Each structure stands twice: as structure tokens, then as C-alpha cells.
Amino acid sequence: MTRARGRGAPKEPLILDAAREVFLRRGFGSAGVDEMAAVAGISKVTLYKYFSSKEQLFLAVILRDIEAAERMSDDHLDALATTTDLDADLRGLAREFVTTVTEPELLRMRRIVAAEAERFPELARAWDERARVRGQQTLTRLFEALAQRGWLAGDMRVAAEQFLWLLLGAPFNVALFDPARGRFDDDELYAHADAAVRTILAAYGRHGPRQKPSRG
């Protein structure tokens, strides 16, 4: 999406777009604030009015990516909360989730964060907190609600953790060791997501909501 430019245009989105472009092109260490400002079409002084350091700017970029991914799953999470067809609704969530997190630019950003984890552990912790920990907590709460309705049974924290690893393990390994691969094929990702759903339902699934006890 092309952002509006000019004196009246909001500066922060332009700065974040420019910074993301430069980080992806250069990596964190080689990315320069001068280049980011030039790409955004502003002065470095103006950039520093919004972000006081390259580290703060990088954190803002990765958090925005994560927030965008979180928003994309809201509809599927809502559908699961009131599901009458757990298999179909869980497949919908799994397919969208694995497609979103394997977008090439998001994978490249993840590799940059991992490469800089020793020098900037706070950035890696922030990424992990927002991407993995928060996602697992959200999924655990949802699974616990489904267990209360009789759809699932067992340790829902473990179920959520295993489900996420089933979804992410293979694609992330491929992306880590074959960065030139490019975008994953949708059919391949959907088959992978469907297999993860079958596995988790085989381990934790039940036949549906508990029946209300009969009267009399």
C-alpha cells in the first residue's frame, strides 16, 4: 500500500514503512537512520522526533507486524469461541495463521531478530512475548473455553503449545535454512494446517458439547 506523502501526511506510518524496507534490505546492524529518513522523504531530525533510536524504531516495526497478524485472526478466533463445527473452524484458524506467519517479509524480519538476539536481547524478548507467548496464552484460553463446552479434554496449555509447534515447526525450519525459497505454496500450507488440526483433535478432541442432563 502506498502511503500519502507531503507536508500534511502522518509521519509515523511513513517512518515505519521506510524503516521496515531498510531493515529488510540491510539487516539491523547495517541499516542506517539516514537511509530510512531518505526513503520516508523526511529529515533525520524529524525522524528522531518520533523515534529516539534505531533500536526503538526496530521494536516499533516488529510490533506493528505482529499486531497486523493478530488482527487478521480475530474473525477465526470469534468463530471458534462459538463453534458448532470445531474441525472446520479450527482448520480455518490454522490455515490463516500458518499462511500469515510464513509471509516472506515476516520470515525475513524474524531471521533478523534471531540474528540480533545476543546483541539486543530485549528486542528478541519483545518479539517472543508478542508473537509466541501471547499467541499461546490466547489459544490456551480459547481451548479452555472449548473444554468447558465439551469439545476438548486434557491439559489445554499443553494442547495449545503442541498445536502451535505442529503448525510452525516445519515451515520455520525450511525458512531458516532455505531463505531463498520465497513464498510457500497455499495448497502445501493448507495441507500442513489440516494435518495439524487432525493431530490435535485426535489427541484432545471430543465429539461435541456435553448434552444437558434429562429431566424426570
Question: At 91, which amino acid appears?
Answer: R
At 11-47, the pLDDT tens digits run 899 999 999 999 989 988 889 999 999 999 999 999 9
Give me the residue spans of the domains in the chain. Answer: 9-52, 63-204
Q: Is 187 exposed, middle or buried (0-12, 13-18, 19+ CB in 10 A)?
A: exposed
At 95-147, the pLDDT tens digits run 988 888 888 887 888 888 888 888 878 878 877 887 778 888 889 999 999 99
Flag whether pLDDT at 5 surpasses 50: no
- List 152's β-bridge partners, or say none: 205
Higher pLDDT: 178 or 197? It is 197
Topology (CATH) of 9-52: Arc Repressor Mutant, subunit A (1.10.10)
Higher pLDDT: 102 or 210? It is 102
Sequence-distant contacts of 68-73: CB under 8 A, at least 24 apart: 69/100, 69/101, 69/106, 69/131, 70/134, 70/135, 72/96, 72/100, 73/97, 73/100
Q: What is the pLDDT of residue 148?
A: 93
Higher pLDDT: 144 or 59? It is 144
Higher pLDDT: 86 or 213? It is 86
The pTM of the whole model exceeds 0.85 = no
Measuring CA to CA, how many Å separate 29 from each of 54, 58, 107, 115?
A: 10, 11, 18, 10
Flag whether pLDDT at 199 surpasses 60: yes
Q: What is the pLDDT of residue 7?
A: 45
Higher pLDDT: 4 or 150? It is 150
May I ask the CATH architecture of the domain 63-204?
Orthogonal Bundle (1.10)
Lowest mean pLDDT among 49-58, 66-75, 134-143, 172-181: 66-75
> Binning pLDDT at 50, 70 and 90, where does residue 74 land?
low
How far is residue 206's CA from residue 83's CA, in Å, rounded to a whole number? 13
